[in-house]
Structure 1
Amino acid sequence: MSDNPTAAVDPVDPVDPVPQTEPTRAPAAAVGAAGPAPLRLGFARGIAPSTWAQRWEVVSGNALELAPVNVAYGRSDTIECDVMLERTLPGLRPAGSETPNPTRHALRLYLESVTLVVPAEHDLAKLDAIALTELDSVPLIAHPFHPAEWPAPVPWNDPTWTPQSVPAALELVATGAGAIMLPTLLARHLTDKRKHSLVPVTGVDDLPLTSVWATWDIDRDAADVQQLVGVLRGRTARSSRTPDEAAAEAARRAAETKAQRAARKKAAQAAQQPQSKKAGPKPGSRGAQLAATRKKPPHRGRR
């Protein structure tokens, strides 16, 4: 399952200053000892899964285990999750979802808005918003996670000075060295109000944006995961399917796909066969006489 044909893969941006936290369980009724183990939903920093966790509780009646992953982009292979919510740079796909031999399914959930992060005392901090076309006068700090499609940053005279993570770039912003552009929710999550100010960027309709995806191992593509993916898509308790219904739907889709392939093959074979000439009425029959009458020109009377 995919939502974008490009095969480029997004890198991982570890967020070092904050240690990896233990997974937490979303509020839900207690699950009995014999009940199913809760699904584990991992999420990168700046992605808020609480609404989905609440919907999952309503739909399934079970808790959802939330596992925060200490990365801004991509995911961590050290954290095991049934489904991962991860962020990619513009035009890129999550790692493992590229063709021709994908190991993970990837469903794009939404595109993110953009915010300019400036020092807290900067003149631009007083603005309610800034247009994309006005960023030419703002020195942007170059770092590995600044999208190439966004306004160009100022190159470093010494490449070894380049900050290697988003938090490192934010530390430079706080010193007054420049500004950086970030996805809005990630900026809110990582910045310090005492050091930074956030200015929404407008006029980005034609700007390639970062994406948030749901990804999961192909080997883990079971009915319960499909049900959770349905909730992430936006299904409600009324529209969601039970696990048995999800499994039946998966089988139905597979059978339907097979039938469609057979129908297309049959249509292609029929198109290759020469069409027989349409048979007319038998010579001398009443039908042949009527047909001949219709072909004769009308009789022209005298004026």
Structure 2
Amino acid sequence: MSDDQTTVPAAPAEAPLPAAETPAPDPAAETPAPDPAAKTPAPDPGADPEATPAADPAAGSTPLRLGFARGIAPSTWAQRWETVTGAPLELAPVNVAFGRPAQLDCDVMLERALPDHRPAGSSGEDRTRHALRLYTETITLVVPADHELAKRESLALSKVADVHLLDHPFHPEAWPAAQPWADPSWTPRTVPDALALVATGAGAILLPTLLARHLVDKRQHAMIPVTDADELPRTAVWASWAVERDAPDVQQLIGVIRGRTARSSRSNTESADAAEAVPAKKRKAAAKPAKSSKPGPKPGSRGAQLAATRKKPPHRRKR
């Protein structure tokens, strides 16, 4: 190497980066030792080891919600449901006298319908609700508290024609005629509005008995049951529920409401509905037990004497 050449010192090698250090485990965060007192449930020998355990359907389930219109008492069905299922039934009063509101937050609705009418949406091929008729209602005349008939315990249907009846949207056409309003805008829109007019002395109205009992003010109104009204069509109470909500739990509730047992079929509801259309007089006649066709012993015969001996002797008074 010549003297005019300068020796360039080699660059120092870069120091290697220190490796990332793994933090030492915290002794306080260690998993506690298993409790020897805790017992592990024994495995079921018949269970599939790969199967996922099913959830309990009763745990955290929402109770069924039963809506009901005014004048309908659902307490009996609620008690029967709790007896059968052991679960409570949520009752939801709905502030309507007839039908149901457009927005309804319940699984089953107990609603009232005018004579020869069904719940809305429950007829036709494109129906949106199922419906079951439960019972028909009796008729009551509501008059002002100071009316001349207010003290009557009952009133024959033929006498209702002598009373000034106020027209309202829920007065059936087949009932005794109501007086139309001179100005249609005066027509009350609801049953409470009609009762408010009755209290002023403007007239009287006909209502289903339980609805009248629920809505009248005893200080302002008097209720008079109407007799001899079997030929009049009656309002009816129905149970209705949405078609898409026709699940086993709803069907069980409908069975409890209808009184259906485990041996009954759903087709029985149709025959029961047809039976309710039979007039009340015929139903009462069919319910009476048939008289025995076997004649009794002739008076004075041996059989009559034996029958007389079986009778208990009259009770003697103590002296």
Q: TM-score, normalised by structure 1?
A: 0.67
Q: In the alignment, which of 65, 79, 84 is matched to residue 40 of structure 1?
A: 65
The one of 123, 126, 144 equivalent to 1:101 is: 126
For 1:226-275, what per-residue CA distance to the aligned partner results, in whole angstroms no more than 9, with x for missing partners? 1110111124xxx347xxxx9xx77xx8xxxxxxxxxxxxxxxxxxxxxx
Q: Which amino acid aligns with 2:67?
A: G
Task: State the partner residue of 2:111.
Answer: 86
2:140 maps to 1:115: yes
User: How big is the shift at 1:78?
Assistant: 2.2
SS of residue in 1 equivalent to 2:161: helix
The residue number in structure 2 matching 1:63 is: 88
> Is the CA contact 1:231–1:240 (under 8 Å) kept in the aligned structure 2?
no
- Tell me how far 1:104 sits from its aligned partner: 0.4
Whole-Å separation in 2 of the counterparts to 1:57 and 1:143: 39
Identify the match of residue 185 of structure 2 among 148, 157, 160: 160
Asked if the contact 1:227/1:240 (under 8 Å) is kept, the reply is no
Query: Are residues 208 and 33 of structure 1, via their aligned partners in 2, closer, same or farther at CA, if it must alter by over 3 Å?
Result: closer
Q: Which runs of 5+ in 1 are unaligned?
A: 1-31, 254-303
SS of the residue 1:86 aligns to: strand
Partner of 2:253: 228
Q: Distance in 2 between matches of 1:92 and 1:196?
A: 29
Find the aligned partners of 1:136 and 1:64 in 2 and give their Cα distance: 44
Q: Could you tell me the percent identity over the aligned residues? A: 66
Consecutive aligned runs of 4 or more in structure 1 exceeding 3 Å deviation: none
Distance in 2 between residues matched to 1:163 and 1:35, nearest whole Å: 46
- Displacement of 1:37 in angstroms is 1.4
The residue number in structure 2 matching 1:186 is: 211
Asked if 1:134 corresponds to 2:190, the answer is no
1:33 shift after superposition: 8.3
SS at match of 2:237: strand
Q: Which amino acid aligns with 1:82?
A: D
Q: 1:300 corresponds to which residue?
A: none
1:108-154 C-alpha deviation (Å, 9 max, x unpaired): 00000000000011111111100111111100001111111100011
Partner of 1:172: 197
Q: Which has the larger radius of gyration?
A: 2
- The answer (yes or no) to whether the contact 1:44–1:73 under 8 Å persists in 2 is yes
User: Contact 1:139–1:178 at 8 Å: present in 2 too?
Assistant: yes
Could you report, residue by residue, the CA deviation over 1:74-115 in whole angstroms, capped at 9, with x for unpaired residues?
011323111000000111110110112111000000000000
Give the Cα separation in 2 of the matches to 1:196 and 1:240. Answer: 46
- How far, CA to CA, are the matches of 1:190 and 1:101 in structure 2? 35
Matched, 1:219 2:238: no
Aligned with residue 199 of structure 1, among 200, 205, 224: 224
Whether contact under 8 Å (1:59, 1:240) holds in the other structure is: no
Rounded to whole Å, the distance in 2 between the matches of 1:113 and 1:232 is 20
**Does the residue aligned with 1:123 lie in a helix, a strand or coil?**
coil
Which residue is equivalent to 1:272?
none
Question: Is residue 143–residue 169 contact of structure 1 (8 Å, CA) maintained in 2?
Answer: yes
Alpha-carbon distance between aligned partners in 1 of 2:168 and 2:61, rounded to the nearest angstrom = 44
Retained in 2: the 8 A contact 1:74–1:94?
yes
In 1, Cα distance between equivalents of 2:208 and 2:262 = 31
Unaligned runs of 5+ in 2: 1-56, 268-319
Go from structure 1 to structure 2 and tell me whether the alpha carbon gap of 1:96 and 1:108 turns closer, same or farther (over 3 Å shift).
Answer: same
Flag the structure with higher helix content. Answer: 1
CA distance in 2, matches of 1:158, 1:101: 38
C-alpha separation in 1, matches of 2:247 and 2:182? 52
